[in-house]
Amino acid sequence: MKNKFFKFSSVHVLIIGDLILDTFYYGRANRISPEAPVPIVNIEYIKYVPGGAANVAMNIASLGVRCHIGGITGQDHAANTLQQQLNEVGIRCAIHQTLNNDTIVKQRVIGNQQQLLRMDFEQRFDNNEWEALKSLIEPIISNTSIIILSDYNKGTLSNPQHWINLAKQHNVPVLVDPKGPDFMKYNGADLITPNMTEFEAIVGEIKSEVDLLTKAQNLIELLNVKALLITRSEHGMSLITKDRPKFHLPAIAKEVFDVTGAGDTVISTIAAALASGRSLQQAVTMANVAASISVSKLGMATVREHELQAEYQLYQSGNHTNHDFTNIVTLKELRIETKYAKQRGEKIVFTNGCFDILHAGHVSYLQQARALGDRLIVAINTDESVAKLKGVGRPINTTERRLAVLAALGAVDWVIPFKGDTPEYLLRKIKPDILVKGGDYDKENVIGWDIVEGYGGQVIVMGMISNCSTTMIIDKITGKYK
C-alpha cells in the first residue's frame, strides 16, 4: 500500500460556491505621485486568476480530477474571463449569470513584488438568487463522486441544506468549507473544515487540546456531521470524529512563501482522495502534504497530481523536505504558464531530447540555452520513444526519473514529457520564441524548424561538449569503451 497511489482521473467532483475573479496588476513603483503621497505603479502586465470556489475547482483540476463548478456571476467581461480561465483547464461550468449583480472581482496592485492596494467590487447576491442553480446543477449530482460546498458568504450558498439533502438522496458525500457565524446551516454534512479562527468564533476560545477536542465533539453532535477538520496554520491540522480519537497532523516543515489559498488546497485534496477510495485519515494526511506544497509557492498556486504523489511517497518514507517537483508540467499547465510569461514580455526558449543519463555536456548545453532567453522549456522523449530511437536497453532511467533530475536544474523552468517521435505538437501549442538544438547539423535538419520560423520564431543550433555523451558513458561502464 505504501507505494500505491490512486489515480484521480476516474472520479468526478462537484463544487458549488461563490465565484470570484482575482485580478493582479503587476508593475514597477519608482516614484511618488505629486497628487498624493502614494506610489505611482507603471503597470507591465495583468493576470487573471479564478478565486473563491473557482480556486477550489482549479485545485481539483490540477490533481487530474474531472470536475464541475456551480455558482453565480454577473453578465459582464469578468464573468467571461472567469469562465474562459476555468474552461482552459477542463473545468465544466454550471453558472447562473444574473442581471442583478456584477461578477465579484478583487483587484490587487503589485509594485516591485509587493502588494500596495486591494480593491473589492462585490455585492452580496440576493437570498433567492441561488434557486436558479437548481436546474443547472441537479442533473449533475447523480454522476458525482463527492460535493464540495465552498462558502465565501457572498450569497451563493444561502441555502446549503438544499444541496446537502439532495446529496443524501443520491448517497453523495458533502464537504463544507464554512464561512460566517452560523454553522447550523451545514447540518448533516459529512465533513466541515474550519480554520482555527472560524472554529473559535463558533465555540469560543480554545484553552487546551482537551478543550479543543471537547468543543469539537460537542459541535459534531450539535450539527449532526460525521467529522470536523480544524486547520491550525503552523500547528498543523486536527481531525475529530464521533467515534475515534483525535487525529492530529503537525505541519510539514517547509519554507513558507504564501499561505493564500492553502485551505482550498486542503479541501480539494481531501475530496479527490475520498472519492478515489482513500479513508478519511489517509485523505487528511494527503491534504497535509498538499498544503505544505501550496504554501511553498507564491500566490494562489495549485498542487499538481505528480507533485502530490512524489511528496506523499517521500512523506511516508520520512524524507519529505527540500524537494521540488513544481516545474514538471502538463501541456495545459505549460500553456497557461507560458501565456503569462509572454504577457510579462519574457522570451521563451524550447529544447528537447532524451536526457537519459544527465552529464556535463547536457548541463552546459542547457545553461547556454537558458541564457538565450528568460524561460527554458525542456521536453523529453517518453520511455517508448527513447527505446525506439536508442535501441534495446534504453532508457537507463525512466521518464519520471529523468523529469525529476531535469526539474532540479536551475537553468530549467519547465520540463514536460512528449509522446511520439517528435515534439512538433508542443511547438504548435506553445509557440516558443526560440527553438534550440545541440549538434553539428544544419538548421533545416532540426525537427520543427519550419513550424517555429513559420510563426516568426528563431531556430538556433548549438554545439555540444565533445567526447561527452550518454552512449559513451554507458559503453565505459559496460567495458565497450576504455
Write out the catalytic residue numbers.
264
Q: Do the strands 348-353 and 434-438 form a parallel or antiparallel pair, or are they unpaired?
A: parallel
Residue 65: name the closest of 169, 122, 165, 148 by CA.
Answer: 148
Instruction: Return the ∠ at Cα 60 (arms to 56 and 64), rounded to 5°.
Output: 160
Q: Give the distance from CA 419 to its chain's centroid.
A: 23
243 Cβ contact list (under 8 Å, min separation 6): none
Integer Cα distance of 60 and 20 in angstroms? 16
User: What separation in angstroms does the CA of 70 have from each of 52, 117, 262, 301?
Assistant: 12, 30, 21, 21
Q: Cis ω on the peptide bond leading into residue 395 (within 30° of 0)? A: yes
DSSP string, 285-307: HHHHHHHHHHTTSSSS----HHH
Instruction: Return the ∠ at Cα 370 (arms to 369 and 371), rounded to 5°.
Output: 90
Torsion of CA 335, 341, 346, 348, to 10 degrees: -20
Give the H/E segment covering residue 275.
Answer: helix 262-275
User: What separation in angstroms does the CA of 156 have from each of 32, 129, 201?
Assistant: 41, 7, 22
Integer Cα distance of 23 and 50 in angstroms? 9
Residue 85: name the closest of 21, 165, 174 by CA.
Answer: 21
- Taken as a whole, the chain contains a residue count of 482
Q: What is the largest CA-CA distance in the chain?
A: 80
3-state secondary structure of 93: strand
Give the H/E segment covering residue 433.
Answer: none
**Cell numbers at residue 313, please?**
511517497
42 Cβ contact list (under 8 Å, min separation 6): 27, 28, 29, 30
Integer Cα distance of 386 and 397 in angstroms? 10
470 Cβ contact list (under 8 Å, min separation 6): 354, 356, 357, 359, 396
